Amino acid sequence: MTASVKPEYHKTLFFRLLGIGIHQKLLAFASLIILLIIFSVTSPNFMQTSNMIAILQAASVNGVLAIAVTLVIITGGIDLSVGTLMTFCAVIAGVVLTYWGMPLPLGILAALLAGALCGLCSGTFVAKMHIPPFIATLGMMLILKGLSLVISGTRPIYFNDTPGFDQIARGSVIGELIPSLPIPNGVLILFIVAITASYILNRTILGRYAFAIGSNEEAVRLSGVNTARWKMTIYALAGSICGIAGILIASRLNSAQPALGLGYELEAIAAVVIGGTSLSGGRGTIVGTLIGALIIATLTNGLRVLAVAQEWQTIVTGAIIILAVYADMLRRKNTA
Amino acid sequence: MTASVKPEYHKTLFFRLLGIGIHQKLLAFASLIILLIIFSVTSPNFMQTSNMIAILQAASVNGVLAIAVTLVIITGGIDLSVGTLMTFCAVIAGVVLTYWGMPLPLGILAALLAGALCGLCSGTFVAKMHIPPFIATLGMMLILKGLSLVISGTRPIYFNDTPGFDQIARGSVIGELIPSLPIPNGVLILFIVAITASYILNRTILGRYAFAIGSNEEAVRLSGVNTARWKMTIYALAGSICGIAGILIASRLNSAQPALGLGYELEAIAAVVIGGTSLSGGRGTIVGTLIGALIIATLTNGLRVLAVAQEWQTIVTGAIIILAVYADMLRRKNTA
Amino acid sequence: MPIIIEMTGVEKKFPGVHALKGAQFELQAGEVHALMGENGAGKSTLMKILAGIYQPDRGDVRIYHTKVSPHSPRDAQQLGIGFIHQELCLMDDLTAAQNIFIGREPRLSFGRVDETALNRQAIDIFASMNVDLNPRSLVGHLTIAKQQMIEIAKALSFKPRVLIMDEPTAALNDAEIAELFMTIRRLKSEGVGIIYISHKMDELKQIADRVTVMRDGEYVATVGVKETPVSTIIAMMVGRKLTATSTETPDLSEATTALEVIGLNRGQHIRDISFSLKKGEILGFAGLMGAGRTEVVRAIFGADRKDSGEIRVHGTPCIIDKPVDAVRLGIGYLSEDRKRFGLATGMSIRDNIALASLNRFSGKIGQLDEDGIRGAARSFICTQAIRTPSDQQEVRLLSGGNQQKVVIAKWLLADCDILIFDEPTRGIDIGAKSEIYALLDQLAKDGKAIIVISSELPEIIRLSHRIAVMCEGRLTGILPGGTNTSQKDIMQLATQTNAIMHTIGN
Amino acid sequence: EDQIYIPLISKGFQHQFWQAVKTGADQAAAEFGVRITFEGPDNETVVDRQIDMLAAALANKPQAIGFAALDSQAAIPLLRQASEAGIPIVAFDSGVDSDIPVSTTTTNNRAAASLAADKMAKLIGGKGNVAVVAHDQTSRTGIDRRDGFIERIQSNYPSINVVTIQYGAGDQLKSTELTKAILTANPDLAGIFGTNEGSANGVVNGVREMNRRGLVVIGYDSGKAQKDAIRNGLMAGAITQNPVGIGYETVKAAVFAVKGKTLPLTIDTGFYYYDATNIDDPEIAAVLYD
Ligand SMILES: Nc1ncnc2c1ncn2[C@@H]1O[C@H](COP(=O)(O)OP(=O)(O)OP(=O)(O)O)[C@@H](O)[C@H]1O
Ligand SMILES: Nc1ncnc2c1ncn2[C@@H]1O[C@H](COP(=O)(O)OP(=O)(O)OP(=O)(O)O)[C@@H](O)[C@H]1O
Ligand SMILES: [Mg+2]
Ligand SMILES: [Mg+2]
């Protein structure tokens, strides 16, 4: 009896691009707003521009990963390899830029290509070999984790020789224009990725097939669509978005840390589901995922600012994830 | 067009209990046998009684967890909290035995009860509040991780004051009878749990409803069955099996390690899927899961005995997980 | 005869749909009471209220004059109400017997299931229904017809006082329907009240005593079947008069061959099938359930593999391995199970109509021409009279007939000139049926080549220009369409197990 | 082949610290002509996985074993089995609470963290608020470094207040985010102690992203990023152990044990405090790794 969240088309460009039904979606912000209010009341230090920016920045890597997973989940799959794929792409960028000394754009391109290629692998396992996505991407997760260590020689790769690399995520183009709003580029990139992904999902043939495959793959196949090819395209696209996340995290740390990434997949999936995307496929929005990532980032930051003991932070986070999804279900039941 | 694997009923008691079709299932051993042969040929040290026992013992905790997850997956759900629930139960046993100084049986009982109770919580979230199992158990995973730390005071709890506790998993009843076969009790417990779970799945109402719910929950509900109650029972049963895993690991380590457990859920799920259980529910066997757990343990141990570099171990493990599932799919397609 | 059930003033609203507007219904013991109405009239909803699946917004339900309000399927079961659902509602991974007794397994101690007793009881029920089914076979491996039998067996196993049958014969063949009617008559003689929902008008006269007609969620009338002519009942259902039309076989001697199948084989299910189809022709495929008609067209379409055989499209031999290949060659396939194979039910009408032709609506970077899609969808909604509030409505909220029209629109938009319809009117009301007939006639006139599979002989005879008859995977003959062929001719070929080609006419 | 085989089971693998230990072990292996393998679990919580590693290592009938116990009690049955089979055990990094190891090569983490506390106190002028970004809440090294720091502050510097301790699992990004939260919550913070390489780099990163100046950051271990941070003043200084030395001494002790030589019960490889002033001193540079 749960209603579905569907891409709908609206008047203003912004909302059209983000593909949201204003009325319905404003309600989805509710959990986020409530969290913000609670933390503002309980801690005087929470509501500062710098902290809001810190939250946005904390949401950026997870947000980009969550967008990648959203695409895959909409087709009815899942991607557990996003975290280690991100790392793998960062390492590839490190190899190209630092070990081989190539210019910056080539490094970025290499990371995106590596991501797309690995995504294509997962996609092939899923679409051609019919391996359940959970296992195909779990296997990829391990393979990529190992490959990152092999390629990097189990050492972080630093980007000190690539001037400007750390500015990709840390610099602030917006801050240069509006000094009072020093939103880092990483956040900007998150939003650009979100708008692009939303456009692809709601406005292009690829997106339409993603929803259709998640809704009823066999029916799509019998409509004369090469479902395998489109699924592989989606996994490859998700992979290249992980490549963007890899560049982001490498830029923030000014290094490619080959051992990082494990565990990031669950956080990304949590953001997706909190954002109202159905794990059984066919339904979902990028805005929802963004909100989900922001909820997680706000929660984590707020609890830390409150200096809640670490073990209790974990407990509260677990409880809030359950509650947020529960609230979303109730909300949708009522607006159905 | 994939055929279904179903509990079928056979002649000999053993196979009847394990609920396997001999012909079909012997093929499932194939991957395991192949692995064993490869490692025996490549390393002279692999095929020793002591190493085989080490493999069995390494499989025991993961095997028990995988059995718990199998039950939940058959109903069409998933349980990400098994690892941290195991730890939580171990900590509860530690509190009862070491902090409160109660006798051993009470400690075991407490662990099983704690497991059942937490399972019931997850079950309630899923069945009553209709939260997707992935999220409900992800939330529980975090909550239990935190609670274990809180209850234990972020310190391991040692069982030095409970004589015989370490013998639960480490001792060998079989070894006392047949000295040449010192199979540790932990392995024995794994097999007892497997046989019991298999019996429940294939012979009892609870098992019948588990398969039925995983197959078509709405149809079961429309047949007048209180699906919510049965689902909650399955989650509670899975929880108490995690309690057994908790006792096992605590006994092996002679301590309850409160931070352990994260990541164990993915390994358990991998074992389940390698064993041929469908992640979409309705189909699955415990023998399959046992074989899955043994494949993982053999692989891990064999690569170590071969002294393969650690990063390559990870890569090979990922690849073999994908291959094992692929082989299983091909096999079932052909025997369909 | 005592009155068992009275429902009065029943109201039910779903979000956006007023499904029942003061509906009423009455059932006597020992009668077969037909409930008729167009798709979406609210028949199933009314019955679901009786069976405790939905709660009414307003209105009374009385059983033996006592007001009841069943709140769950279990409540209804305890009140003696059995329900055979319109949509198959089975657990594919369980056996036939396990399905029948779900929730009421014979138990041994410690919650064990008495599997032996379970299977024995299932065998008894199958015997009483006169069907041949292995209680141990997995339901997922059975044909839809057999699955339907299991649904019926399940409902009977409750020994209900009231049995609701929501389109039980939609997937049954004539022999099976005959057996079912025997069972119904036996139950009737035992005093069971039966509510019978069907879109097949001929069944009405055979089995029903009274009929209640609904339209748009409202009660229209209850009349005796004997004293009321079928045309009157139809008029009450659709609110207008339907004129029966019949097809005229066009002269196709000049027409070119659109599709030619030569020596198609696949395992036991398809054995050496050869036939040809001309532009503008409607070729009917008749046969008993399981004769292999679906398998043949799926193999042609590339949905399943073939062992051997050649397919020529417009005279050119073609390789069709995947549905993509078929669609590229202009072949469209409307499957018999539209929910599973035809529609992405969670998506909008617009998206479903465009599904097979998105390529045409996408630009260089894959951006979709949403206006174009909307225009196309709306024009089909208009021309095919799809009843929906908007082209953005989710398909799952449409009634069966309208869903079928969406699938047809999908293939028309894809510009297919060879169309394969597999059971196009299954579960579709008489009004929509005649619309689909008219549509098929028109498509043929427009020069499309059409294959129609149907298990309803009158329908095959009404539609086809030629009738291919299959039996056990073989093509046993091709008969001329129209009034030249009788149902008996077809049945004779449909039961003829050795393959002798009868080619009459053409 | 009669080459001596010595497997080393460490507490970690992909972390720089453990890679430095591996480097030292490899050096010793080359020098003494023995074959080693080096393995460690993904994180310091998975005690049972480490025991499975030990079991697999024993299957290869090694001549000696180097072992860094995640939990010293849990491994005792297997270690006893090994020593009964005549395989000498050399403990490294942290000890095993038993008399089984023939020798233990270790750093005193607690004392090292106390030294960090002293340096912190001195740099912030003996008063103010400080925070700890630790790498693990339950592992031996995590607890020792955290407690060594806090206990020294509490006992010797009453005007210094440890306002918060948070755990970032040694993950640089997580440590970055939580440093930023700490800075938000404590605008008057005077210093932060990061208890391992990942934590320390995360702290530096967080401070940089928040643009906070004048904050005293003290780190632990080395690595290129940390060394750079010290050189350019973002980090005041750091404690370093001698991981290469630990690895080297462990293998050396194992070889000696196999050859039947007597060994000291503990081999302290020492720890040092380094900052911009002494980072290039030869004896410091020797114990730092990139
Ligand atoms: N769960 C639901 N949510 C929303 N609308 C519904 C729901 N169930 C039924 N409807 C709508 O209620 C109306 C009545 O549907 P119902 O299924 O009772 O029709 P019916 O007479 O059984 O038709 P058919 O002959 O096609 O089975 C239809 O318009 C249908 O779309
Ligand atoms: N998935 C399947 N598994 C096993 N047997 C099948 C399957 N699908 C079809 N069959 C068998 O293939 C034969 C042909 O079935 P098919 O569905 O083509 O017949 P049909 O004439 O189209 O009848 P229907 O009207 O039931 O569709 C039948 O004997 C059926 O039992
Ligand atoms: Mg209906
Ligand atoms: Mg058919």
Could you tell me which residues come within 8 angstroms of residue A211 by beta carbon, excluding any fewer than 6 positions away?
A7, A74, A201, A282, A283, C344, C347, C351
Mutation test of the interface with chain A: which of B2, B143, B155, B283, choosing the one with the most A Cβ atoms within 10 A? B143
Categorize the per-residue pLDDT at C399 as very low, low, confident or very high, splitting at 50, 70 and 90.
Answer: confident
Q: Where are the alpha helices (DSSP H) in chain B?
A: 13-18, 22-42, 49-74, 82-94, 104-127, 133-152, 167-170, 173-177, 185-203, 205-222, 227-253, 264-274, 286-305, 310-335
Which residues in chain D land under pLDDT 50? none
Distance CA D136, CA D171 (A): 10
Q: Residue C142's domain is classified under what CATH number?
A: 3.40.50.300
Cα-to-chain-centroid distance, residue A243 = 11
Rounded-to-5 percentages of helix, strand, coil across chain C: 35, 25, 35
Residues of chain A contacting C348 with CB distance shorter than 8 Å: 6
Which residues lie across from C278 on neighbouring strands?
A: C257
Q: Are residues C71 and C175 in the same domain?
A: yes
ipTM: 0.88
Q: Residue C65 belongs to what H/E stretch?
A: none
**pLDDT recorded at residue A334:** 65
Contacts of D209 in chain A (CB under 8 A): 54, 57, 170, 184, 252
d(Cα C340, Cα C409) in Å, to the nearest integer?
Answer: 17
Interface-testing mutation among D73, D98, D165, with chain B (most B C-beta atoms within 10 A): D73
Partners of residue C212 on adjacent β-strands: C35, C222
Q: Report whether B126 contacts B235 (CB < 8 A).
A: yes
Q: Nearest 5°: phi and psi at B231?
A: -60, -45
Taking CB atoms and an 8 Å cutoff, what residues of chain B touch C44?
A: none
Q: Examine the domain organization and report whether C230 and C315 are in the same domain.
A: no
How high is the mean pLDDT in each 10-residue block of chain B (336 residues)?
A: 39 47 58 92 91 93 97 96 97 96 96 98 96 94 96 92 90 89 93 96 94 94 92 98 97 92 93 90 93 94 92 94 88 66
Rg (chain B; Cα; Å): 20
C61 contacts C49 by C-beta, under 8 angstroms: yes
Residue C51: name the closest of C90, C98, C96, C86 by CA.
Answer: C86
User: Which of residues C506 and B307 earns the better pLDDT score?
Assistant: B307
* Nearest Cα residue in chain B from C103: B225
**What CA–CA distance (Å, rounded) separates A278 from A91?**
32
Query: Model confidence at C170, in pLDDT bands (50, 70, 90)?
Result: confident
Q: Do B211 and C107 count as a contact with CB atoms less than 8 A apart?
A: no
Residue C73 in domain:
yes
Return the pLDDT at C492. Answer: 84
At C431 the pLDDT is 81
C232 and C118 in a common domain: yes
Residue written as tokens 């099996």?
Answer: B241
- Give the DSSP letter of residue C279: T
Cα C432 from Cα C371, distance rounded (Å): 29
The total number of structural domains that make up chain B:
1
Q: How far is the CA of A211 from the centre of ligand 1 (A)?
A: 25
C233: its two tokens? 């009942």
Tell whether B146 is covered by a domain: yes
Give kind and range of the element (H or E) at residue C165: strand C162-166
Classify strands D5-9 and D35-39 as parallel, antiparallel or unpaired.
parallel
Report the alpha-carbon distance of residue C240 to residue C220 in Å, rounded: 13
Residue A2 domain flag: no
Q: Is residue C66 part of a domain?
A: yes
Per the domain annotation, does B302 fall within a domain? yes
Task: Establish whether residue C291 lines the binding site of ligand 2, counting it when its CB lies within 6 angstroms of any ligand atom.
Answer: yes
- Give yes or no: residues C317 and C437 share one domain: yes
Q: What is the mean pLDDT of residues C452-459?
A: 88
Distance from the CA of C144 to the center of ligand 4, in angstroms?
9
* Per-residue tokens: B101: 């100084």
If asked whether residues C234 and C277 sit together in one domain, one would say no
Q: What is the mean pLDDT of residues C94-98?
A: 94
Query: At which of C188, C208, C238 does a domain end?
Result: C238
Q: In this complex, which of A200, A204, A283 lies closest to C346 when CB atoms are compared? A: A283
Q: Is residue A9's pLDDT more than 50?
A: no
For residue C345, list chain A residues with Cβ-Cβ distance below 8 A: 215-216
Spatial CA neighbour of C254 closest among C283, C281, C284, C285: C281
Whether A295 is covered by a domain: the verdict is: yes
| Chain A residues 124-153 within an 8 A CB cutoff of chain C | none
Q: What pLDDT was estimated at residue C493?
A: 86
The domain tally of chain C equals 2
Query: Which range scores top for mean pLDDT: A241-250, B308-317, C113-122, C429-438?
Result: A241-250
Q: What angle do CA B244, B250, B251 make, to 5 degrees?
A: 90
Q: Which residue of A has its CA nearest to D223?
A: A156
Distance CA A314, CA B147 (A): 9
Give residue C270's region: left, alpha or beta (phi > 0; psi -120 to 50): beta
- pLDDT beyond 60 at A24: no
Which among B138, B20, B36 is positioned nearest to B81, based on CA atoms?
B138
Q: Which domain holds residue C477?
A: 257-330+416-503
Measured between CB atoms, does B314 come within 8 Å of chain A?
yes
Q: Please list all protein residues whose beta carbon sits less than 5 angstroms from ligand 4, which is an ion.
A: C 294, 336
Q: What is the pTM of this model?
A: 0.89
Mean pLDDT of chain C: 88
Phi/psi at D65 (nearest 5 deg)? Answer: -135, 140
The per-residue pLDDT for range C17-28, each reduced to its tens digit, is 788 999 999 999
Residue A68 lies in a domain: yes
Q: Are residues A247 and A89 in contact, defined by beta-carbon separation less than 8 angstroms?
A: yes
| Residue C28, phi-psi category: left (phi > 0), alpha (psi -120 to 50), beta (remainder) | beta
Q: What is the pLDDT of residues A102-146, one digit of tens each?
A: 999 999 999 999 999 999 999 999 999 999 999 999 999 999 999
Please name which of D265, D248, D243, D241 lies closest in space to residue D89, comparing C-alpha atoms: D265
How do residues C281-302 score in pLDDT, each as one tens digit?
999 999 877 788 999 999 999 9
The stretch C203-214 carries a mean pLDDT of 91
With a pLDDT cut of 70, the percent of chain A lying above it is 91
Q: Which of C342, C362, C363 is nearest to C353 (CA)?
A: C342
Yes or no, beta carbons of B326 and A149 under 8 Å apart: no
C307 interfaces chain B, CB cutoff of 8 Å: no
Nearest-by-Cβ selection for A158 from D172, D176, D224:
D224
Q: How wide is the angle at C-alpha C456 spanned by C-alphas C452 and C462, nearest 5°?
A: 65
Same domain, yes or no, for C307 and C421? yes
pLDDT confidence of residue D50: 92
Output the CA angle B267-B270-B276, nearest 5 degrees: 150
Do C221 and C265 fall within a single domain?
Answer: no
> Which tokens sit at C194?
């039966």
Among A86-100, A248-262, C150-164, C399-413, which stretch is predicted with the lowest mean pLDDT?
Answer: C399-413
Alpha-carbon gap, residue A39 to A301, rounded angstroms: 9
Give tens-digit pLDDT for C156-169. 888 899 999 998 88
Report whether pLDDT(A333) > 80: no
How does residue A19 score in pLDDT terms, banded at 50, 70 and 90?
A: very low
Residue A329 has pLDDT above 90, yes or no: no
| DSSP letter string, B72-114 | HHHTT---S-HHHHHHHHHHHHHIIIIIS---HHHHHHHHHHH
pLDDT tens sequence across C471-494: 888 999 999 887 778 888 888 888
Of the candidates D53, D55, D71, the beta carbon closest to that of B257 is on: D71
What CATH number does residue B325 fall under?
A: 1.10.3470
Domain limits at B72? 7-335
Whether A4 has a pLDDT exceeding 80, the answer reads: no
In a domain, C219, yes or no: yes
- Alpha-carbon gap, residue A309 to A314, rounded angstroms: 9
Nearest neighbour of B259 by CB, restricted to D37, D59, D138: D138
pLDDT value of position A269: 94
Residue A277 placed within a domain = yes
> Is residue B132 one of the residues assigned to a domain?
yes
Decide: B137 and B78 in contact? Cβ < 8 Å. Answer: yes
Chain A residues with CB-CB distance to C372 below 8 A? none
Residue type, position D182, single letter: I
Residues C161 and C310 in one domain: no
Cβ C50 under 6 angstroms from ligand 1: no
Task: Classify residue A322: in a domain, yes or no.
Answer: yes
Residue A289 has what pLDDT? 95
Residue C61 · residue C50 · CB < 8 Å: yes
A325 to chain B: closest CA residue: B131
Any ligand 2 atom below 6 A from CB of C268: no
